[in-house]
Amino acid sequence: MRAVLQRVTEASCKVDGNITGHIEQGFLVLLGIEDADTDEDLEWLAQKIANMRVFSDENGLMNKALADIDGNILLISQFTLFASTKKGNRPGFTRAARPDKAIPLYEATISRLSALLNKEVACGVFGADMKISLVNDGPTTIIIDTKNKE
């Protein structure tokens, strides 16, 4: 699994003009799922996201996690995070998991993050043409890949 975390002051997702998810301060998380991903990857990634300390403390240092600031998550599925650009100018997406594998892992990620934060996780719509709006805070952007745990 690959995630791009963007620290935001607000973010939202629209599908067909309707807002499917909106948050104030927290993380916009773009999530890519590949065929090799497992429940172990999901658990490791969810823990990383929930405990990532990139929010400012009283001294302006990045020492606080989502729970410390009562932050939220907007989770967006994004298979293009596994684009292969080695040949030509048209990316290939063969590493991205097909929906029959990706949807259950995406939904399980929503559930796990919700349990870890003890609150609802806002979402996009898997496979939809989504319009994402955000106000990036910092900017602070972190890339996490479960295949690079060490």
Does residue 150 register a pLDDT over 80?
A: no
H/E stretch holding 51 reads helix 39-51
* CA angle (127, 133, 134) in 5-degree steps: 125
H/E stretch holding 123 reads strand 122-123
Instruction: Quote the DSSP letter at residue 80.
Output: G
Rounded to the nearest integer, the mean pLDDT of the chain is 95
Q: Which of 80, 94, 109, 141 is catalytic?
A: 80
Tally the domains of the chain.
Answer: 1
For residue 128, give the CATH number of its domain.
3.50.80.10
- 124 falls within a domain: yes
- 109 falls within a domain: yes
pTM for the model stands at: 0.94
Which segment of 7-21, 82-96, 134-148 scores lowest on mean pLDDT? 82-96
Residues 140, 132: Cα–Cα separation, whole Å: 17
Residues 19-45 pLDDT 10s: 999 999 999 999 999 999 999 999 999
Q: What is the pLDDT of residue 149?
A: 80
80 a catalytic residue: yes
- 150 falls within a domain: no
- 82 falls within a domain: yes
Domain that holds residue 44: 2-145
Residues 130, 125: Cα–Cα separation, whole Å: 7
More confident residue, 5 or 148: 5
Q: What is the pLDDT of residue 135?
A: 98
Residues 15, 3: Cα–Cα separation, whole Å: 21
- 101 falls within a domain: yes
Residues 67-79 pLDDT 10s: 999 999 999 999 9
Average pLDDT over residues 87-102: 89
Residue 7: other Cβ atoms inside 10 A: 23
